[in-house]
Protein backbone atom coordinates (compact mmCIF):
# COMPACT_ATOMS: atom_id res chain seq x y z
CA UNK A 1 0.00 0.00 0.00
CA UNK A 2 1.32 3.42 -0.88
CA UNK A 3 1.20 6.24 1.59
CA UNK A 4 -1.20 8.42 -0.39
CA UNK A 5 -4.40 9.14 1.48
CA UNK A 6 -7.44 7.73 -0.24
CA UNK A 7 -9.71 10.16 1.55
CA UNK A 8 -9.26 13.86 0.97
CA UNK A 9 -9.39 15.52 4.33
CA UNK A 10 -12.70 17.07 5.25
CA UNK A 11 -14.57 16.04 2.15
CA UNK A 12 -17.60 13.86 2.76
CA UNK A 13 -17.93 10.97 0.35
CA UNK A 14 -20.30 8.04 0.25
CA UNK A 15 -18.72 5.09 2.03
CA UNK A 16 -19.27 3.15 -1.17
CA UNK A 17 -17.06 5.59 -3.07
CA UNK A 18 -14.36 5.10 -0.48
CA UNK A 19 -14.82 1.34 -0.69
CA UNK A 20 -14.26 1.52 -4.44
CA UNK A 21 -11.23 3.84 -4.30
CA UNK A 22 -9.65 1.79 -1.52
CA UNK A 23 -10.14 -1.37 -3.49
CA UNK A 24 -8.53 0.21 -6.54
CA UNK A 25 -5.51 1.16 -4.44
CA UNK A 26 -5.24 -2.39 -3.15
CA UNK A 27 -5.70 -3.95 -6.58
CA UNK A 28 -2.79 -1.93 -7.97
CA UNK A 29 -0.46 -3.92 -5.77
CA UNK A 30 -2.28 -7.23 -5.54
CA UNK A 31 -3.60 -9.07 -8.58
CA UNK A 32 -5.45 -11.50 -6.31
CA UNK A 33 -7.96 -8.78 -5.40
CA UNK A 34 -11.07 -9.77 -7.35
CA UNK A 35 -14.40 -7.98 -7.56
CA UNK A 36 -17.49 -9.96 -8.52
CA UNK A 37 -20.60 -8.01 -9.50
CA UNK A 38 -24.16 -8.85 -10.52
CA UNK A 39 -24.92 -5.95 -12.85
CA UNK A 40 -24.03 -3.89 -9.79
CA UNK A 41 -20.79 -2.21 -10.86
CA UNK A 42 -22.60 1.10 -11.32
CA UNK A 43 -24.46 1.12 -8.03
CA UNK A 44 -21.35 -0.29 -6.34
CA UNK A 45 -19.26 2.61 -7.72
CA UNK A 46 -17.04 -0.02 -9.30
CA UNK A 47 -17.14 1.00 -12.96
CA UNK A 48 -13.65 2.58 -12.61
CA UNK A 49 -12.38 -0.61 -10.99
CA UNK A 50 -13.64 -2.64 -13.94
CA UNK A 51 -12.02 -0.24 -16.39
CA UNK A 52 -8.65 -0.21 -14.64
CA UNK A 53 -8.51 -3.88 -13.68
CA UNK A 54 -10.62 -5.82 -16.20
CA UNK A 55 -8.77 -9.05 -15.41
CA UNK A 56 -9.72 -8.68 -11.76
CA UNK A 57 -13.40 -8.07 -12.36
CA UNK A 58 -15.91 -10.88 -12.81
CA UNK A 59 -19.45 -10.04 -13.93
CA UNK A 60 -22.15 -12.68 -13.50
CA UNK A 61 -25.23 -10.71 -14.51
CA UNK A 62 -28.28 -10.41 -12.30
CA UNK A 63 -27.83 -13.68 -10.45
CA UNK A 64 -27.06 -13.22 -6.76
CA UNK A 65 -26.94 -16.90 -5.79
CA UNK A 66 -24.43 -17.52 -8.54
CA UNK A 67 -22.53 -14.37 -7.52
CA UNK A 68 -21.87 -15.77 -4.07
CA UNK A 69 -21.19 -19.33 -5.23
CA UNK A 70 -18.69 -18.14 -7.84
CA UNK A 71 -17.08 -15.88 -5.24
CA UNK A 72 -16.70 -18.85 -2.89
CA UNK A 73 -15.02 -20.91 -5.61
CA UNK A 74 -12.60 -18.06 -6.40
CA UNK A 75 -11.82 -17.58 -2.71
CA UNK A 76 -11.12 -21.31 -2.30
CA UNK A 77 -8.27 -20.83 -4.78
CA UNK A 78 -6.64 -18.00 -2.81
CA UNK A 79 -8.36 -15.02 -4.41
CA UNK A 80 -9.28 -12.08 -2.17
CA UNK A 81 -12.83 -11.74 -3.34
CA UNK A 82 -15.28 -8.88 -2.89
CA UNK A 83 -18.76 -10.01 -3.97
CA UNK A 84 -20.84 -6.90 -4.48
CA UNK A 85 -24.60 -6.60 -4.78
CA UNK A 86 -27.44 -4.64 -3.19
CA UNK A 87 -27.75 -5.81 0.41
CA UNK A 88 -31.47 -6.49 0.01
CA UNK A 89 -30.92 -9.17 -2.66
CA UNK A 90 -27.57 -10.44 -1.47
CA UNK A 91 -28.63 -11.27 2.07
CA UNK A 92 -32.05 -12.64 1.18
CA UNK A 93 -31.91 -14.36 -2.17
CA UNK A 94 -28.33 -15.57 -1.70
CA UNK A 95 -28.57 -16.18 2.03
CA UNK A 96 -28.14 -19.93 1.60
CA UNK A 97 -24.99 -19.38 -0.46
CA UNK A 98 -23.62 -17.04 2.23
CA UNK A 99 -24.49 -19.61 4.90
CA UNK A 100 -23.15 -22.69 3.13
CA UNK A 101 -20.63 -21.70 0.48
CA UNK A 102 -19.00 -18.85 2.39
CA UNK A 103 -19.50 -19.28 6.15
CA UNK A 104 -19.90 -23.06 6.57
CA UNK A 105 -17.28 -23.96 3.97
CA UNK A 106 -15.06 -21.19 5.36
CA UNK A 107 -14.32 -19.59 2.02
CA UNK A 108 -13.04 -16.12 2.95
CA UNK A 109 -15.30 -14.02 0.75
CA UNK A 110 -15.98 -10.37 1.52
CA UNK A 111 -19.71 -10.16 0.97
CA UNK A 112 -20.47 -6.50 0.21
CA UNK A 113 -24.07 -5.42 0.68
CA UNK A 114 -24.51 -2.05 -1.00
CA UNK A 115 -27.30 0.53 -0.64
CA UNK A 116 -28.18 -1.17 2.62
CA UNK A 117 -30.89 -0.42 5.14
CA UNK A 118 -33.34 2.06 3.62
CA UNK A 119 -30.75 3.70 1.33
CA UNK A 120 -33.00 3.00 -1.62
CA UNK A 121 -35.74 4.95 0.18
CA UNK A 122 -38.75 5.34 -2.06
CA UNK A 123 -37.96 2.19 -4.05
CA UNK A 124 -39.73 0.40 -1.25
CA UNK A 125 -39.46 -2.73 0.80
CA UNK A 126 -38.18 -4.96 -2.02
CA UNK A 127 -35.06 -2.80 -2.01
CA UNK A 128 -34.67 -2.33 1.74
CA UNK A 129 -32.49 -4.60 3.86
CA UNK A 130 -33.72 -4.41 7.41
CA UNK A 131 -33.12 -8.09 8.10
CA UNK A 132 -29.46 -8.58 7.21
CA UNK A 133 -27.94 -8.19 10.68
CA UNK A 134 -30.52 -10.58 12.09
CA UNK A 135 -30.01 -13.17 9.37
CA UNK A 136 -26.22 -13.04 9.43
CA UNK A 137 -25.84 -12.83 13.20
CA UNK A 138 -27.46 -16.26 13.37
CA UNK A 139 -24.93 -17.74 10.95
CA UNK A 140 -21.70 -19.07 12.39
CA UNK A 141 -18.34 -17.92 11.01
CA UNK A 142 -19.01 -14.56 9.41
CA UNK A 143 -18.01 -11.14 10.72
CA UNK A 144 -20.72 -8.48 10.30
CA UNK A 145 -19.49 -4.92 9.73
CA UNK A 146 -21.27 -1.62 9.03
CA UNK A 147 -18.70 1.18 8.73
CA UNK A 148 -20.00 4.57 9.86
CA UNK A 149 -17.76 6.94 7.95
CA UNK A 150 -15.10 7.20 5.28
CA UNK A 151 -12.29 6.54 7.75
CA UNK A 152 -13.82 3.31 9.02
CA UNK A 153 -14.61 2.21 5.47
CA UNK A 154 -11.05 2.64 4.26
CA UNK A 155 -9.58 0.96 7.32
CA UNK A 156 -12.06 -1.91 7.20
CA UNK A 157 -11.47 -2.69 3.53
CA UNK A 158 -7.69 -2.61 3.95
CA UNK A 159 -8.01 -4.93 6.91
CA UNK A 160 -10.42 -7.23 5.05
CA UNK A 161 -7.86 -7.71 2.29
CA UNK A 162 -5.51 -9.16 4.89
CA UNK A 163 -8.13 -11.19 6.76
CA UNK A 164 -8.64 -14.81 5.84
CA UNK A 165 -12.20 -15.00 7.14
CA UNK A 166 -15.70 -14.48 5.75
CA UNK A 167 -16.91 -10.91 6.31
CA UNK A 168 -20.18 -9.18 5.51
CA UNK A 169 -20.00 -5.44 4.90
CA UNK A 170 -22.98 -3.16 4.77
CA UNK A 171 -22.71 0.17 2.99
CA UNK A 172 -25.11 3.03 2.43
CA UNK A 173 -25.12 5.60 -0.33
CA UNK A 174 -25.16 8.99 1.33
CA UNK A 175 -22.03 11.13 1.77
CA UNK A 176 -20.68 10.58 5.26
CA UNK A 177 -18.61 13.22 6.98
CA UNK A 178 -15.79 11.71 9.01
CA UNK A 179 -16.97 11.55 12.61
CA UNK A 180 -13.70 12.69 14.17
CA UNK A 181 -11.27 15.45 13.30
CA UNK A 182 -8.28 13.19 13.70
CA UNK A 183 -8.25 9.71 12.26
CA UNK A 184 -5.72 8.17 14.59
CA UNK A 185 -7.90 5.38 15.96
CA UNK A 186 -6.72 1.84 15.48
CA UNK A 187 -9.44 0.07 13.54
CA UNK A 188 -10.10 -3.54 14.46
CA UNK A 189 -13.04 -5.81 13.70
CA UNK A 190 -14.90 -6.48 16.92
CA UNK A 191 -13.68 -3.32 18.66
CA UNK A 192 -16.14 -0.45 18.90
CA UNK A 193 -14.89 3.06 18.32
CA UNK A 194 -15.64 5.82 20.83
CA UNK A 195 -16.58 8.91 18.84
CA UNK A 196 -17.53 11.16 21.71
CA UNK A 197 -16.71 10.72 25.39
CA UNK A 198 -19.50 11.03 27.92
CA UNK A 199 -20.86 9.56 31.12
CA UNK A 200 -24.63 10.15 31.36
CA UNK A 201 -25.88 8.12 28.43
CA UNK A 202 -24.18 5.60 26.16
CA UNK A 203 -25.41 5.80 22.58
CA UNK A 204 -24.31 2.73 20.68
CA UNK A 205 -24.97 3.11 16.98
CA UNK A 206 -23.82 1.49 13.77
CA UNK A 207 -23.42 2.45 10.12
CA UNK A 208 -25.10 5.63 8.95
CA UNK A 209 -26.95 6.12 12.26
CA UNK A 210 -23.79 7.05 14.15
CA UNK A 211 -23.91 10.48 12.54
CA UNK A 212 -27.34 11.48 13.95
CA UNK A 213 -26.24 10.01 17.29
CA UNK A 214 -23.28 12.36 17.32
CA UNK A 215 -25.46 15.33 16.37
CA UNK A 216 -27.83 14.47 19.21
CA UNK A 217 -24.89 14.26 21.62
CA UNK A 218 -23.89 17.81 20.68
CA UNK A 219 -27.43 19.03 21.25
CA UNK A 220 -27.66 17.21 24.59
CA UNK A 221 -24.47 18.87 25.73
CA UNK A 222 -26.35 22.17 25.66
CA UNK A 223 -28.62 20.65 28.32
CA UNK A 224 -25.59 19.48 30.32
CA UNK A 225 -26.12 15.87 29.38
CA UNK A 226 -22.94 14.12 28.49
CA UNK A 227 -23.40 11.38 25.90
CA UNK A 228 -20.83 8.76 25.03
CA UNK A 229 -21.25 7.94 21.35
CA UNK A 230 -19.87 4.67 20.05
CA UNK A 231 -19.61 3.49 16.48
CA UNK A 232 -20.22 -0.21 16.90
CA UNK A 233 -19.09 -0.89 13.34
CA UNK A 234 -18.81 -4.63 14.04
CA UNK A 235 -22.20 -6.03 14.93
CA UNK A 236 -20.73 -9.53 15.23
CA UNK A 237 -18.55 -10.35 17.08
CA UNK A 238 -19.85 -7.73 19.49
CA UNK A 239 -17.43 -5.69 21.58
CA UNK A 240 -18.85 -6.88 24.87
CA UNK A 241 -16.02 -5.51 26.99
CA UNK A 242 -16.77 -2.01 25.70
CA UNK A 243 -20.48 -2.50 26.39
CA UNK A 244 -19.68 -3.51 29.96
CA UNK A 245 -17.45 -0.48 30.35
CA UNK A 246 -20.18 1.81 28.97
CA UNK A 247 -22.76 0.27 31.30
CA UNK A 248 -20.48 0.86 34.27
CA UNK A 249 -19.86 4.43 33.26
CA UNK A 250 -23.32 5.60 32.11
CA UNK A 251 -26.79 5.75 33.60
CA UNK A 252 -28.59 4.39 30.54
CA UNK A 253 -27.96 2.84 27.14
CA UNK A 254 -29.55 3.64 23.80
CA UNK A 255 -28.83 1.70 20.61
CA UNK A 256 -29.52 2.93 17.08
CA UNK A 257 -29.49 1.07 13.80
CA UNK A 258 -30.88 1.32 10.28
CA UNK A 259 -32.37 -2.14 10.68
CA UNK A 260 -35.43 -3.83 12.09
CA UNK A 261 -35.57 -3.48 15.86
CA UNK A 262 -35.67 -7.28 15.81
CA UNK A 263 -32.45 -9.24 15.71
CA UNK A 264 -29.93 -6.47 15.13
CA UNK A 265 -27.42 -4.48 17.15
CA UNK A 266 -29.91 -3.50 19.84
CA UNK A 267 -31.04 -7.02 20.61
CA UNK A 268 -27.43 -8.20 20.55
CA UNK A 269 -26.54 -5.58 23.19
CA UNK A 270 -29.61 -6.23 25.33
CA UNK A 271 -29.03 -9.96 25.26
CA UNK A 272 -25.46 -9.50 26.40
CA UNK A 273 -26.42 -7.09 29.18
CA UNK A 274 -29.28 -9.18 30.57
CA UNK A 275 -27.38 -12.42 30.49
CA UNK A 276 -24.56 -10.79 32.39
CA UNK A 277 -26.88 -9.30 35.02
CA UNK A 278 -26.18 -5.75 33.94
CA UNK A 279 -29.48 -3.91 34.38
CA UNK A 280 -29.69 -0.40 32.96
CA UNK A 281 -32.45 1.69 31.42
CA UNK A 282 -32.24 0.54 27.81
CA UNK A 283 -33.90 1.28 24.50
CA UNK A 284 -33.49 0.11 20.91
CA UNK A 285 -34.05 2.61 18.11
CA UNK A 286 -34.45 1.30 14.60
CA UNK A 287 -37.14 0.52 12.09
CA UNK A 288 -40.21 -0.94 13.83
CA UNK A 289 -41.83 -4.16 12.72
CA UNK A 290 -44.41 -2.64 10.41
CA UNK A 291 -45.02 -1.84 6.74
CA UNK A 292 -42.18 0.66 6.38
CA UNK A 293 -43.25 4.22 5.71
CA UNK A 294 -42.55 5.43 2.18
CA UNK A 295 -40.14 8.21 1.34
CA UNK A 296 -36.47 9.01 0.94
CA UNK A 297 -33.92 7.57 3.34
CA UNK A 298 -33.90 10.85 5.30
CA UNK A 299 -37.68 11.00 5.39
CA UNK A 300 -37.81 7.43 6.67
CA UNK A 301 -35.16 8.29 9.28
CA UNK A 302 -37.15 11.37 10.33
CA UNK A 303 -40.41 9.41 10.48
CA UNK A 304 -38.92 6.91 12.92
CA UNK A 305 -36.96 9.46 14.90
CA UNK A 306 -33.56 8.38 13.66
CA UNK A 307 -32.31 11.96 13.60
CA UNK A 308 -30.80 14.50 15.96
CA UNK A 309 -34.13 15.49 17.47
CA UNK A 310 -35.54 11.98 17.78
CA UNK A 311 -32.40 10.57 19.37
CA UNK A 312 -32.12 13.49 21.81
CA UNK A 313 -35.75 13.00 22.82
CA UNK A 314 -35.23 9.29 23.44
CA UNK A 315 -32.20 10.06 25.59
CA UNK A 316 -34.19 12.49 27.72
CA UNK A 317 -36.99 9.94 28.13
CA UNK A 318 -34.53 7.23 29.14
CA UNK A 319 -32.77 9.43 31.67
CA UNK A 320 -35.99 10.75 33.19
CA UNK A 321 -37.28 7.28 34.11
Partner 1 sequence: MIKMTSKQLQKKSIQYRKNILKYIFHANAGHTGGSLSCIDILNVLYNDVMNVSPENFKSPDRDRYIQSKGHSVEALFVVLADKGFFPESDLSTLCKYKSHYIGHPTRKVNGVEQNTGALGHGLPISVGTALAAKMDNKKFRVFTLLGDGELPEGSNWEAALTAAHYKLDNLCAIIDNNKLQITGPISEVCNTDPIDKKFESFGWAVRHVDGHNLDELKKTFSAMPFADGKPNLVIAHTVKGKGVSYMENVIKWHHGVPSEQQLEEAMSELDNAMVTIPDDF
Tell me whether residue 23 or residue 243 sits nearer to partner 1 (CB atom).
23
| Contact yes or no for 234/268 (Cβ under 8 A) | no
Tell me whether residue 96 or residue 197 sits nearer to partner 1 (CB atom).
96
Binding partner 1 (rule: CB under 8 A), the pick from 69, 117, 192, 198 is 69
Q: In the bound complex, what is the minimum distance in angstroms from residue 144's beta carbon to partner 1?
A: 20
Tell me whether residue 64 or residue 257 sits nearer to partner 1 (CB atom).
64
Q: In the bound complex, what is the minimum distance in angstroms from residue 46's beta carbon to partner 1?
A: 18
Tell me whether residue 65 or residue 209 sits nearer to partner 1 (CB atom).
65
Q: Please, which of residues 262-301 interact with partner 1 by CB under 8 A?
A: none
Single out the segment in contact with partner 1 by CB under 8 A; choices: 41-49, 73-81, 111-119, 121-129.
73-81
Residue-wise over 215-239: b if at least 16 C-beta within 10 A, else e?
A: bbbebbeeeebebbbbbbbbbbebb
Three-state DSSP at 171 gives: coil
Three-state DSSP at 77 gives: coil
Tell me whether residue 65 or residue 231 sits nearer to partner 1 (CB atom).
65
| Contact yes or no for 196/227 (Cβ under 8 A) | yes
Binding partner 1 (rule: CB under 8 A), the pick from 68, 90, 98, 230 is 68
DSSP secondary structure letter of residue 270 = H
Q: Please, which of residues 86-115 interact with partner 1 by CB under 8 A?
A: 96-97, 100-101, 104-107
Binding partner 1 (rule: CB under 8 A), the pick from 2, 8, 55, 164 is 55
Residues sharing a CB contact under 8 Å with residue 92, sequence separation 6 or more, in sequence order: 129, 131, 135
Question: Residue 44: how many CA atoms within 13 Å on its side-chain side?
Answer: 31
Q: In the bound complex, what is the minimum distance in angstroms from residue 82's beta carbon to partner 1?
A: 13
Binding partner 1 (rule: CB under 8 A), the pick from 12, 39, 47, 66 is 66
Residues sharing a CB contact under 8 Å with residue 74, sequence separation 6 or more, in sequence order: 34, 36, 58, 81
Binding partner 1 (rule: CB under 8 A), the pick from 12, 39, 47, 73 is 73
Contact between 71 and partner 1 by CB under 8 A: the answer reads: yes
Ramachandran class of 2: left when φ > 0, alpha when ψ lies in -120 to 50, beta otherwise: beta
CA distance 280 to 243: 12
Tell me whether residue 23 or residue 203 sits nearer to partner 1 (CB atom).
23
Binding partner 1 (rule: CB under 8 A), the pick from 14, 16, 35, 72 is 72
Q: In the bound complex, what is the minimum distance in angstroms from residue 75's beta carbon to partner 1?
A: 8
Three-state DSSP at 84 gives: strand
Q: Is 167 exposed, middle or buried (0-12, 13-18, 19+ CB in 10 A)?
A: buried
Binding partner 1 (rule: CB under 8 A), the pick from 79, 128, 173, 236 is 79
CA distances from 160 to 35, 109, 112, 238 (A): 13, 9, 11, 17
Binding partner 1 (rule: CB under 8 A), the pick from 77, 122, 274, 293 is 77
53-57 contacts, C-beta under 8 A, 24 or more apart: 53/24, 53/27, 55/31, 56/27, 56/31
Q: In the bound complex, what is the minimum distance in angstroms from residue 67's beta carbon to partner 1?
A: 8
Which chain residues interact with partner 1 by CB under 8 A? 34, 55, 58, 60-61, 63, 65-66, 68-79, 96-97, 100-101, 104-107
Amino acid sequence: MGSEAVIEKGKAKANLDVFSSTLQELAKHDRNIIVVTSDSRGSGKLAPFGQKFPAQHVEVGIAEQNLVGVAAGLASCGKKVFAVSPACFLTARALEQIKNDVAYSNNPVNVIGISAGVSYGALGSTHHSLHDFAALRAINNIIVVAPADNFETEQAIKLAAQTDQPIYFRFGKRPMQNLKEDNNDVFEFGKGRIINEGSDIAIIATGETVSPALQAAKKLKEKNISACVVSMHTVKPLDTSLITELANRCKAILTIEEHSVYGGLGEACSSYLLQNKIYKPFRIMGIPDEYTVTGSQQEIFDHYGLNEKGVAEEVLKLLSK
